[in-house]
């Protein structure tokens, strides 16, 4: 953060998948501004990524596993690689080519391999998206399919919680099932990653709906929780039922770069990645602010993903209120894809409720002013998703003038530069005590 006689500047990154550009925003010099960044980690180079892919956390290397499958199925062998979508910053284009080369080394041709984009109930990816996620060299080598939660499905079993495991048919019929995803904090699954790339990622709508319904008896969990998290337990059980063989999970840094890679036996990979994610995403939070600014990067492609930037705010205890009652919560999102799509939680979705009435967000959004800074959104985009009182600013200066008028001199401000990845140190310490 730099200072001048009249202003001080906060430097952020935004526009995930659309340049990861620097965003410099002025704030009044007489405000008390604290940038609450996560602990962070350096990016891995390609050599380190490849080394991690060839050193499994547990289980065989991909080459050895593929050789066994090749011996078993011969030329009939079908290999499916599930890859997450643009809602997560997984640098799949740095990982998948090595996986394809390893499969080739095991005697598996590119024609025997296909990729399914693990969408859950998100929108399909178009060519431009696939070039970003996978890179042109991958698109030149193997076939890529989008998962649909509404068709091309097969039921492969049922979890012990009573959820039918209805899964993408192309994935289910593969003889070798691989997946590539990343970990970010998640409100009920603890983290994304692990078996979540299968359920909900490759699941049918009814399977996703049943797992996501908070009223299902015995299914509960919270941000960062793994031990005792029955939602996470069901997700991993569904992935086992569906036959996930080999997993790659990554941890991102504050610039959405790959900071850690784990490969091998799926559940061991997820646990190892979660341990590093917990250290990397740890954030020392300052409380009782007049204003808090939550940057939605690296999940700032869609409006409906913006509240992921509140992962760091999990408690309504008086001593842990990030913004005082009557204060202001500011969200920054490029929203490069506009409102966005989610079959459950988006407008018209089966579990959709207006954000100020949602159990995870109601206590935060009510009793405080809420403003969005986004040049790619329009006022009608918020209708039905947020209450009419929510303000949209497409330029920073009018937002700053409004904040200055409301709060005046000496305003106390907290800034969360990568909100969707950040976890409060207090929450992590509570998780550590529970282990």
The predicted-structure confidence for 108-146, as pLDDT tens digits, reads as follows: 999 999 999 999 999 999 999 999 999 999 999 999 999
Note whether residue 435 is domain-resident. Answer: no
What is the mean pLDDT of the segment spanning 179-193? 93
**Boundary-marking domain end, from 224, 258, 280:** 280
- Structural domain contains residue 413: yes
For 324-345, write each residue's pLDDT tens digit: 999 999 999 999 999 999 888 8
Same domain? For 179 and 259 the reply is yes
Same domain? 107 vs 69: yes
Residues 269 and 287 in one domain: no
C-alpha angle with apex 58: 250 to 188, nearest 5 degrees?
A: 50
Co-location of 26 and 83 in the same domain? no
Residue 103 lies in a domain: yes
CATH code of 178's domain: 3.40.50.11440
Q: How many structural domains compose the chain?
A: 2
Does one domain contain both 240 and 310?
no
Query: What pLDDT, on the 0 to 100 scale, is given for residue 189?
Result: 85
Arithmetic mean of pLDDT over the chain: 94
The answer to whether position 430 is within a domain reads no
What CATH number does residue 31 fall under? 3.90.226.30
Same domain, residue pair 271 and 362: no
Residues 361 and 288 in one domain: yes
* Domain boundary residue, one of 263, 280, 297: 280
- 432 in a structural domain: no
Asked whether residue 93 falls in the same domain as residue 106, the answer is: yes
The two tokens of residue 132 are: 């970003």
Q: Are residues 87 and 191 in the same domain?
A: yes
**For residue 431, is it within any domain?**
no
Helix (H, G, I), strand (E, B) or coil at 244: coil
Which one, of 105, 97, 67, lies nearest residue 81 by Cα? Answer: 97
- 190 and 316, same structural domain? no
**pLDDT digits 0-9 by tens, 53-99:** 999 999 999 999 999 999 999 999 999 999 999 999 999 999 999 99
Supply the range of the domain harboring residue 396. 2-39+283-425
Same-domain pairing of 270 and 393:
no
Provide the pLDDT for residue 218: 62
**Cβ–Cβ under 8 Å, residues 13 and 417:** yes
Query: Lowest-pLDDT range, 169-178, 225-234, 281-290?
Result: 225-234
Residues 249 and 288 in one domain: no
Q: Give the pLDDT confidence score for residue 1 in this predicted structure.
A: 47
Boundary (domain end) residue, out of 280, 306, 334: 280
Identify whether 312 is part of a domain. yes
* 254 in any annotated domain: yes
Q: If you average pLDDT over residues 405-415, what whole number do you get?
A: 96
pLDDT digits (tens, 9 = 90+) for 210-269: 887 765 556 678 898 888 888 899 999 999 999 999 999 999 999 999 999 999 999 999
């Amino acid at each position: 953060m730099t200072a001048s006689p009249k202003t001080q500047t906060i430097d952020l990154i935004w526009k995930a998948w659309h340049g990861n550009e620097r965003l410099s925003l002025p704030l009044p010099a007489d405000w008390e501004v604290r940038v609450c960044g996560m602990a962070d980690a350096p990016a891995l180079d390609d050599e380190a990524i490849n080394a991690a892919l060839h050193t499994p956390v547990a289980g065989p290397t991909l080459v050895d596993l593929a050789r066994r499958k090749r011996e078993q199925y011969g030329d009939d062998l079908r290999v499916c690689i599930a890859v997450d979508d643009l809602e997560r910053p997984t640098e799949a284009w740095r990982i998948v080519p090595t996986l394809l080369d390893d499969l080739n080394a095991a005697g598996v041709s590119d024609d025997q391999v296909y990729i399914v984009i693990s969408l859950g109930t998100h929108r399909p990816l178009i060519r431009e998206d696939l070039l970003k996620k996978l890179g042109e060299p991958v698109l030149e080598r193997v076939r890529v399919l989008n998962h649909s939660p509404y068709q091309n499905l097969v039921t492969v079993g049922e979890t012990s919680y009573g959820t039918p495991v209805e899964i993408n048919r192309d994935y289910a019929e593969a003889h070798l099932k691989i997946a590539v995803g990343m970990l970010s904090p998640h409100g009920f699954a603890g983290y994304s990653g692990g078996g979540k790339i299968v359920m909900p990622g490759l699941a049918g709508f009814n399977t996703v709906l049943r797992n996501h319904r908070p009223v299902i008896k015995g299914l509960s969990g919270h941000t960062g929780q793994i031990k005792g998290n029955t939602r996470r337990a069901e997700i991993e059980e569904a992935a086992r039922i569906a036959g996930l063989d080999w997993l790659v999970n990554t941890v991102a840094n504050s610039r959405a770069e790959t900071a850690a890679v784990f490969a091998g036996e799926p559940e061991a990979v997820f646990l190892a990645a979660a341990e590093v994610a917990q250290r990397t995403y740890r954030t020392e939070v300052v409380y009782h602010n007049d204003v808090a600014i939550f940057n939605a990067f690296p999940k700032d492609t869609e409006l409906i993903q913006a509240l992921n930037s509140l992962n760091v705010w999990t408690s309504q205890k008086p001593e842990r209120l990030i913004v005082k009652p009557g204060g202001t919560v500011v969200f920054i999102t490029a929203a490069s894809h506009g409102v966005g799509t989610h079959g459950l939680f988006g407008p018209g979705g089966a579990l959709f409720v207006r954000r100020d009435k949602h159990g995870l967000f109601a206590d935060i959004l009510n009793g405080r002013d809420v403003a969005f800074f986004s040049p790619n959104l329009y006022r009608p985009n918020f209708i039905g998703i947020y209450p009419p009182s929510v303000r949209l600013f497409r330029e920073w200066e009018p937002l700053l003038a409004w904040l200055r008028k409301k709060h005046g001199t000496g305003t106390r401000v907290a800034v969360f530069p990568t909100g969707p990845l950040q976890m409060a140190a207090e929450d992590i310490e509570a998780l550590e005590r529970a282990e």
